[in-house]
Structure 1
Amino acid sequence: MEYLAKSAGETIIQHTENLLKNYDLLKKYYPEIPVNWSLLRLICKYHDLGKINELFQQKIREGTMKKEGEIPHALLSIALLPVKELKKVYGVADVKAMTYAIALHHERDFSQLTKDQYDNEIAKLQVPAKHFPFSELGLPFPNEIKRPDARFYRFLHRPSSKDDYFKLYVMLKGLLNRIDYAASGDYPVEYPANFLSHNMSRVLNGWKQKSPTGTADWNEMQKYVEQHQNDNLIVIGQTGLGKTEAGLLWLGDNKGFFTLPLRAAINAIYTRIRDGIADKANYQQQVGILHSDSLAVLLAEDSENEVVELDQLANYLNETRSWSLPLTVTTLDQTFDFVYHYAGFEKKLATFAYSKVVIDEIQMYSPDLLAYLLKGLKEIQDFGGKFLVMTATLPAYLLDLFQSQGLKWEMREQPFLDEDLLERHYLQLIKDNLSAEMVAKLYQKGKLLVICNTVRKAKEVYQELSTLLPKVEIQLIHSQFIRKDRQQKEQEIMEFAQSNQAGIWIATQVVEASLDIDFDLLITELSELNGLFQRMGRCYRKRSLVNRNKPNVYVFDGGDNFTSGISKSEYSIVHDEIFSLSKKALRSREDGILNEHEKMSLIAATYTTEALKETSYYHQIKTMLAWLSVTENDDKSEKEVKRLFRNIQSRAIIPRKIYDDFTTEINECVRVLTLTSKEISQQFKENPSIIRRIYRSKLDDYKISIAEWLFIKCAQQNQVQFKEIGKYEGFYIVDGKYAKDYGFETLHGVEEDRFF
């Protein structure tokens, strides 16, 4: 008889052969992976042999979910391992890692399983084993079928970082998982990383052709990282110096991850790489985008091209999520959650062992995320991966934390600066709160960017300024627009910055980093020094100061009070101690030209470990690092870790006004999402999975995220309605005002102070 592995009729032999094809692909593209390749190949052969058991074969042939008395097949697979023979070749630690990698290659609950049950099912393997063609996989017939003894496998034990074979186990299990998923999903486990080096040279040649002199070259920073491709690096360079290109040059022809904190920045960099660096015909095998809204980005891209090949889109999305592409532009929460060592984390850490990761805009991460980052980089380093941290401002205390965690890196003593653009900003500090009246007085002509700390403050300034300057084009951007409006706003501010138009954009932190926009004048509230210098990078981005006697940056520090969004509460957008240190540093200098050297000196002098070690901000980082270390072996689920990692304090909702205006479109999304797979296939003639993803994404176009405390307050005032989508999901509608130019506002003036 044929022994089946899958309900679709694929046999165990066929499935294993598909694994071996992906094993060969992985070894071909990344032979340098620090793993015992012969052990990994054996694991691929043995991992599913437990499926020969009678109950599994009955289940597959009957099409049922589970058979009474059935135990996970992976536990039966290890009973077929020739442990004694393997020990002679590989040693105890390697065989132990191999055994656990197979036994745990599916995340199953073994807690209800007894040893007697286990041993009884193992004994029953004797019959099917007599008929299974082991030789077709190049395997010997098992001399004995029994549970490995305690030296190699302890019943219900899960390897942890305390075990001496942990690293071996992580590499074997993690790579087995990726190979197995690729074979089951019918996609390649990896595509070759062979386009960046060649195509970056092509980018440089394109610059030469556009240059009036016919010459162009990488700058000093870009050359430095290219020369140190094999090193961990920390690079400090002023804004506008080409850190994105530097990151790509450092990655070279290696598997890479490019991480940023803001989705708008990720979208922009992904688009730049896709359109300007990747091969047009093959970009879907070269670069992917991965964050919570990535499907919407891909759908918009296909919409622009008026081509929506859903099967192709589904494959691209699946391969991106499976980390099969050589370059992924992504967020920290999509990648660094492995620090919790949740059930199934091994595939991520094993991949990072042969990857390079770029961390851009590190100064924007919260204390919790900084702790995740520090622990993650240490584990990546220990497993063989590489990291590049790029920033325009790097506080001294962060370098001390890097060192205390055992991280090792190269770093040039002096930051990278553009000698032709050392003086771009004349800063005037105003010891008062920012107001629309002051903005109106300071604005004369050109492009003005006003950055507020909170959505509420931005709205207030927008409304009042629109009255004070009725003839001036004024726009508003912040996080409280529904997704499709926010995406339009992001596009509009980019186009405005590149145009010859004059006008005013009022914004929040959403424009602070990585958006390549350039304004003539910046008026901003103080948040803290790192954020301020990032904001200043949106003004005179690549221009030298023209008028050396007139400010082009005005900073309002709140006078004797805090600026908006700053408080001593846990909801403050910046810790109040950090704000106070920043205010003190700015007040210690005279108004005038603030050159790039002085910016970095201010950061270095202000954010020292000595100055911060007693603050709650620093304490939060250290506490989280200690907590991660203590709890890393707690067997958390992946779902639980996602919730912890994102520190969810917000709720996705649809504003009542949007629901009323788009009821037909929203109800169509709900209708499709309640259809069965069979009904979707009949109606759309497409894969039900991608259709559901598309319609969930369409529904998300009408949503915004509001803080959990605000959601609760609205619910207490009976301003929240829940709409079901079938039995297991739904969405919330919250009463409030919404306008395309203004965004969302809850009823009765509930404040949005804690948003940006």
Structure 2
Amino acid sequence: MTFYAKSETKETIREHTDRLLYNLELLKTSYGHKLVHFDERMWELLHLAVEYHDVGKANTVFQNKIRHAIRENIFETDCDVDVPHNYLSVGMIPFSSLNLTKEESRLLIHAVGYHHERDKLPDKEMIRHVFETDIKNQLNKISEHMKLPMTEKLSYRFVDRLLKRYTIHDGEQFWKYVLLKGILHRLDHAASAHIPVEMDIHKSVGLSVNRYMERQGFKKNELQQFAEANQKKNVIAIAQTGMGKTEAALLWIGDDKAFFTLPLRVSINAIYERIREKMKYDAVGLLHSTSVHYLAEKGEENWEVVKQQSQQLSMKLLMTTIDQILKFPFYYRGFEKELATMANAKIVIDEIQAYDPKIAAMLIKALEMIHQVGGQFMIMTATLPTLYLDELKKRNIIAETDHAFGEFIDVRQHRHRIQLHCREITDGIKDMITFAQTSQVLVIVNTVRRAIELYKELSENEQNISVYLLHSQFTQEDRQRLERRIKEFNDNKEKGIWITTQLVEASIDIDFDYLFTEMSTLDSLFQRLGRCYRKRILNSEKCNVHIFTENISGIPNVYNEHLVNESIKLLQPYHGQILDERAKVEMVKQLYERKRLIGTTFLQEFEAALDMFDNLDPYGMNKKEAQQKLRDIQNIQVMPRRIYDQIVDMFDTYTACRNFKERLRLRMEIEGKTVSVNRFVAEKYVSERLPKPFDYIYIIDVQYDFDREQLRGKGILLDTPLSTFY
């Protein structure tokens, strides 16, 4: 008799199970040696879990659903209850003949019973009903189909054991369960997607980097040599901008499977492209909230394959954001898959200081969990807050024997001489215009509102200086146009002024002659300095960085006032002086010492988040809820009314379209016309949602200002409702 597992492919349960077994052997032979907590007995338990994980699908209610979908005759049955197959599978395992310890039985029960996470907990009476009215009579047929022994005596005590879930209080057994269940998830998902659980096992990104550097005639610097020499250790590397940190991280990864995380999608896209095109390494995937759009837009012919392999974490190297793979400290239902993947991989966390204190706390907890399952990590950053380093030591995440720490700072090359102005940034307009007549001037402020104010004033200059504005409140497609334009402007050495927000701190590779900036916290400020004289040495007595310290925008909503004030104090001795790279690193260390942070909201948020993660009950939320907690859920996607009116026919075209790739193109075009804005600021202007499936996008009745020919404008104007213009 045939028992189906999938309707899409008419795949039988046995065929699907064999796919898992193939992937199990692939994982074991490729990375089994990396799974330090997986002994031979654990591999045997995993094999059993694979063999029995889907046998519950043989129940007639499930089979009839598939047979209806594939238009085959359905079976008659006295069973009228639909119970999730994963619970039923446990009841068919012949525990009495498997010679398992009590704890091994529990591991197997829970791995199989929860290989799908359900909102509905197992109900003993419903399970009993299905077994007595249906499965009991089919056990021999199921055994024959699966070529496996089935239970000879029906017992429902396993339901009581299922209801008592593992928690972190189970100690070592909890981590065994995480690995067993997490790997089963991986095998199952890869088999269902018909892809290998691990791709390109023998391809080495370290080898590709070495060949790339040889072709370019580059010699490895101290940082890169340090990273390559410490491939078997956890690494913390503090290095200034321009030291080749990306190459260093890839050399540390070497032959291993790895995940490379950065705070900004733009930066991730750029490094992904560089690895593929310049380093000629094709075993790299891309995974973030808009990665499909990026891949399709770039003309990646196999974007669907890259997407699927990336989502299944099969790629040898995956460029990604932390919300995709490091949210397991929330212990959401199904978290084990991502965490178990870390057990045979390395992870790079680039620029940890760029995250807010709550996210940084989650990252530290994630590193603790990765350390627990035997994974490796590298923290690579220009500046590392002392608070974070102290917490890593306190939790024994880093120890003398298994980690390497290095600082790589070139104090011989000076790039910045700073001038502090006890005025607000608008008082610098005259100097901005003067410098812009012969140079490239970058202006960075803390809020979109302040950026627009400056743009209005500077645009009216009598010298006819070119002035551009770039911030987050343009539509996605217009923002991309502006990001391309600022690079082009910089590369062509055009003269003029660009006004921006902290958007450019780490996401855009530019090198301006002068920087005028509002004060922020030191870590953010030093990122801004990296956009001025980024690739040059300063051989002048003239200050190329001007910092304004009065009437600063964005306090306290963007930057903590206490930290900004402390940052100003630390900068004072450098007024009119060279600010070298060593001084930057030391100042950030001082700024984020615990004693300096006592009483601040920064420290309170950091400690409260750590305490929450340390005391979370597993399985309290689902994956989507964890993702929302990580992302800025105060923001919503909006489309200005004027733009909606121009493309209203596109929604009917999308609905009528049956071609998948054309639908994707239309969807990308529609989403490209949206802006992410603060929910509370925008809600009074929001009028309605877009039609499904775009009902997560709101129409907003405010002015949108942008000239696509001139690439000039102010973006979405949340304080200017449309009625003002009618």
Q: Does 1:158 align with 2:165?
A: yes
Q: Could you tell me which residue of structure 1 aligns to residue 93 of structure 2?
A: 81
Q: Give me the whole-angstrom Cα distance separating, in 1, the residues matched to 2:617 and 2:632.
A: 17
Shift of 1:536: 0.8
Whether the 8 Å CA contact 1:80–1:146 is kept in 2: the answer is no
Residue 647 (structure 1) shift:
3.7
- Aligned residue number for residue 287 of structure 1: 284
Say which of 105, 113, 116 aligns to 1:106: 116
CA RMSD, aligned part only?
2.4
- Structure 1 distance, partners of 2:570, 2:515, is 20
1:62 aligned onto 2:68:
yes
Whether 1:351 and 2:341 are equivalent positions in the alignment is yes
- Residues 426-475 of structure 1 show CA distances to partners (whole Å, capped at 9, x for unaligned) of 11111111013342245452222111111121222222222226433322
Between stretches 438-447 and 245-254, larger displacement belongs to 438-447
The answer on whether the counterparts of 1:295 and 1:697 sit within 8 Å (CA) in structure 2 is no
Query: Which of the numbers 294, 297, 302 marks the counterpart of 1:297?
Result: 294
User: Are the counterparts in 2 of residues 480 and 744 from structure 1 also a CA contact under 8 Å?
Assistant: yes
Tell me how far 1:372 sits from its aligned partner: 1.0
Q: Structure 1 pair 321/691, CA: closer, same or farther in 2 (3 Å)?
A: farther
Give, in whole Å, the separation in 2 of the partners of 1:381 and 1:521: 44
> Aligned partners of 2:464, 2:53: CA distance in 1, in Å?
71
Q: How far apart in 1 are the matches of 2:580 and 2:241?
A: 12
Rounded to whole Å, the distance in 1 between the matches of 2:404 and 2:126 is: 61
1:270-318: CA deviation from partner (whole Å, max 9, x where unpaired): 2211211234xxx2xx11222212122112111xxxxx75xx3222212
Which digits, 9 at most, give the CA deviation of each residue in 1:656-711, with x for residues without a partner?
23223x42xx532x225535xxxx5xx42x4xxx6655433221100011101111
- With over 3 angstroms needed to count, the CA separation of the structure-2 counterparts of 1:106 and 1:693, relative to structure 1, is farther
- Alpha-carbon distance between aligned partners in 2 of 1:233 and 1:431, rounded to the nearest angstrom: 40
Unaligned runs of 5+ in 2: 722-726
Q: Distance in 2 between matches of 1:593 and 1:608?
A: 24
CA distance in 1, matches of 2:632, 2:626: 10
Equivalent of 2:544 in 552, 556, 579: 552
- Answer yes or no: is 1:658 the counterpart of 2:664: no
Match of 1:241, SS? Answer: coil
Q: Distance in 1 between matches of 2:2 and 2:594?
A: 66
Contact conserved, 2:113 with 2:162, CA < 8 A, in 1?
A: no
* Counterpart amino acid of residue 240 in structure 1: G
Letter in 1 for 2:192: S
Residues 1:464 and 2:457 are matched in the alignment? yes
One of 84, 87, 103 as aligned partner of 1:72: 84
Residue 659 to residue 300, structure 1, CA distance change in 2 (3 Å) = same
8 Å Cα contact 1:528/1:578 also seen in 2: yes
Aligned to 2:12: 11
What is the CA deviation profile of residues 52-82 of structure 1, one whole-angstrom value per residue up to 9, with x for unaligned ones?
A: 2222222221239998412111111111222
Report whether the alignment pairs 1:427 with 2:422. Answer: no
Matched, 1:710 2:718: no
Residue pair 2:639, 2:697 contacting (<8 A) in 1 also? no
Look up the match of 1:245: 247
Matches of 1:288 and 1:184 in 2, distance apart?
19
Equivalence for 2:230 = 228
Structure 2 residue 340 is matched with structure 1 residue 331: no
Equivalent-residue separation in structure 1 for 2:544 and 2:487 (angstroms): 20
| Cα distance between partner residues in 2 of 1:427 and 1:155 | 63
1:197 alignment partner, one of 182, 195, 206? 206
**Is the 8 Å Cα contact of residues 437 and 468 (structure 1) preserved in structure 2?**
no
Which amino acid in structure 2 is aligned with residue 534 of structure 1? Q
Listed as ranges, the gaps of 5+ residues in structure 1 are 209-215, 303-307, 751-756
1:390 and 1:418 map into 2 onto residues whose CA distance is 16
Distance (Å, rounded) in 2 between the aligned partners of 1:514 and 1:652? 21
Match of 1:701 among 660, 672, 694: 672
Cα distance 1:623–1:692, how it changes in 2: closer, same or farther (>3 A)?
farther
State the Cα deviation string for residues 560-588 of structure 1 (Å, max 9, x = none): x4x11113xxxx11111111111121224
Other structure's SS at 2:604 match: helix
Residue among 254, 257, 260 paired with 1:255: 257
1:125–1:145 Cα contact (<8 Å) kept:
no
Partner of 2:724: none
State the alpha-carbon separation in 1 of the partners of residues 700 and 54 from structure 2: 47
Q: In the TM superposition, what are the counterparts of 1:165-176 in structure 2 within 5 Å?
A: 165-176=173-184
Indicate whether 1:566 and 2:533 are aligned: no
Note closer, same or farther for the CA distance 1:694–1:28 as it changes in structure 2 (3 Å cut): farther
Counterpart among 594, 605, 609 of residue 594 in structure 2 = 609
The correspondence for 1:389, drawn from 379, 397, 419, is 379
1:328 is paired with a residue whose SS is: strand
CA–CA distance in 2 between the matches of 1:415 and 1:605?
16
Contact persistence 2:418–2:575 (CA under 8 A): no
Distance 2:139 2:534 in 1: 70
Contact 1:674 1:725 in 2 (8 A): no
Aligned with 2:584: secondary structure? helix
1:713 Cα deviation after fit? 3.0
1:21 counterpart = 2:13: no
Give the residue type in structure 2 aligned to 1:291: H
Q: Any idea what the Cα deviations from partners look like across 1:506-534, whole Å, max 9, x if unmatched?
A: 21111101533212211111111111111
Report the secondary structure of 1:593's partner residue. coil
Q: Distance in 1 between matches of 2:662 and 2:83?
A: 34
Give, in whole Å, the separation in 1 of the partners of 2:592 and 2:6. Answer: 57
Aligned equivalents of 2:649 and 2:165: distance in 1?
46
Q: Contact (CA 8 Å) 2:637, 2:696: kept in 1 or not?
A: no
Secondary structure at the residue paired with 2:163?
A: coil
* Larger CA deviation: 164-173 vs 345-354: 164-173
1:276 is aligned to 2:278: yes
Distance in 2 (CA, whole Å) between partners of 1:202 and 1:217 is 11
Give the 3 Å change call, closer, same or farther, for CA 726–241 of structure 1 in structure 2: closer
Task: Give, as a single letter, the amino acid of the residue that structure 2 aligns with 1:109.
Answer: D
- More moved, 463-472 vs 332-341: 463-472
Residues 452, 508 of structure 1: 8 Å contact kept? yes
* Structure 1 position 584 matched with structure 2 position 551: no
CA distance in 2, matches of 1:542, 1:462: 27
Work out the CA distance in 2 between the residues paired with 1:463 and 1:522: 19
Aligned with 1:449 (options 435, 442, 448): 442
Letter in 2 for 1:544: I
Please show how residues 614-625 of structure 1 align to structure 2 within 5 Å.
614-625=599-610
Q: Please report how far the alpha carbon of residue 138 of structure 1 lies from its aligned counterpart in structure 2 after TM superposition.
A: 5.5
Alignment partners' CA distance in 2, 1:91 and 1:469: 85
2:141 equivalent to 1:131: yes
Aligned to 1:408: 398
Distance of 2:494 and 2:459 partners within structure 1: 17
Shift of 1:222: 0.8
Over 3 Å counting, the alpha-carbon distance change for 1:195 and 1:358 in structure 2 is same
* Cα separation, partners in 2 of 1:621 and 1:475, compared to 1, 3 Å: same
The 8 Å contact of residues 285 and 317 in structure 2, kept in 1 or not, is answered as yes
- 8 A Cα contact 1:673 1:725, kept in partner: no
Q: 2:703 aligns with which of 736, 748, 753?
A: 736
| Cα displacement string for residues 449-502 of structure 1 (whole angstroms, at most 9, x for unaligned residues) | 111111121222222222226433322211111111111222222233333333
